[in-house]
Amino acid sequence: MMSGPRIYTSESLASSTTIALDDQAVTHLVRVLRMKKGDDVRLFNGDGSEYQAQLIIESKKSASASVTHAIRQDAPLKLEIHLGQVISKGDRMDFTIQKATELGVTDITPLTSERCDVRLKGDRMEKKLEHWQKVAISACEQSGRNTVPVVHPPKSLSDWSSGIEADRKLLLHPHNQKPLVSDQSPESIALLVGPEGGFSDIEVTQCQEAGFDGLLLGPRILRTETAALTALSVLQYVWGDFR
Ligand code: SAM
């Protein structure tokens, strides 16, 4: 039987080992949830498995977990999806990363483009990237996912679209009338989603030259975060693990 809150750790996990918990996990388990010595926790580190463990509390600020056994393993993903998302404003990017993780993406690359309003550099970008990776980890804790999508360092749209390799490359673009056809079953997809201001004509042409097919999601203009989640749901239904 598996029980207890799910916690991510960067430590290696194996039966009959003890691992130190990081400050964030200790605060959550000991201070917020007020858990006691011997209480059950479930651990994952992104290797695809979840492990049962019991809490060992050393002090208010320090705790470890005694791992007993692996309890479950994620089925291998049917579809690798690399989401290229032009960086959106405020907490919209967090929302997209959280929901994309729940919907099973394997990789996310935040992109800059001509009409991208967010300009982050140096330290601020490093911090943002760390924050986005944490958003993905929290979404894994909550959704029961034992693999963690990688949030890659930001790239320009042209670098990403010209370098990415995938069986199928899709560009979400409202002015492109090419529907999604499901005659082949790709194992990997690169999905490119634009900013609130959309792509410029030059960007669309460059992406098409790099092998991206346009995908239209109906007659309405969707907000960038709605577009990403809608496309991911459709792709998981047609080629992935929704059925
Ligand atoms: N005025 C912009 C334009 O005409 O491109 C609208 C951009 S829309 C708010 C933001 C992004 O979501 C777009 O760049 C596109 O990637 C995606 N998107 C929105 N609605 C879509 C639709 N119906 N079909 C395909 N992609 C869509």
Domain ranges (residues) in the chain: 6-73, 80-238
**Per-residue pLDDT of the chain in tens (243 residues, 90 and over written 9):** 668 999 999 999 999 999 999 999 999 999 999 999 999 999 999 999 999 999 999 988 899 999 999 998 999 889 999 999 999 988 999 999 999 999 999 999 999 999 998 888 888 999 999 999 999 999 999 999 999 999 999 999 999 999 999 999 999 998 877 777 766 789 999 999 999 999 999 999 999 999 999 999 999 999 999 999 999 999 999 999 998
Residue 93, token pair as written in the block: 């990017």
Ligand 1 pocket, mutate which of 176, 213, 224 (most atoms under 8 A from CB): 224
Contact 63, 21 (CB under 8 A): yes
What stretch of H or E contains 122?
helix 122-143
- Rounded to the nearest angstrom, the distance between the alpha carbon of 214 and the centre of ligand 1 is 11
Ligand 1 pocket, mutate which of 177, 222, 226, 232 (most atoms under 8 A from CB): 222
Could you tell me which residues are beta bridge partners of residue 168? 189
- Rounded to the nearest angstrom, the distance between the alpha carbon of 84 and the centre of ligand 1 is 14
Kindly give the pairing relationship between strand 107-112 and strand 49-59: unpaired
User: What are the CA-CA distances from residue 138 to residues 68, 95, 200, 209, 229 (Å)?
Assistant: 23, 12, 34, 37, 18
The architecture of the domain spanning 6-73 is Beta Barrel (2.40)
- From the list 95, 107, 242, 99, the residue with the least C-alpha distance to 166 is 107
Contact 107, 149 (CB under 8 A): yes
Residue nearest to atom 5 of ligand 1 (CA): 198
- Rounded to the nearest angstrom, the distance between the alpha carbon of 227 and the centre of ligand 1 is 7
CATH (one of 3.40.1280.10, 3.30.70.2740, 3.40.190.170, 3.40.50.300) for 80-238: 3.40.1280.10
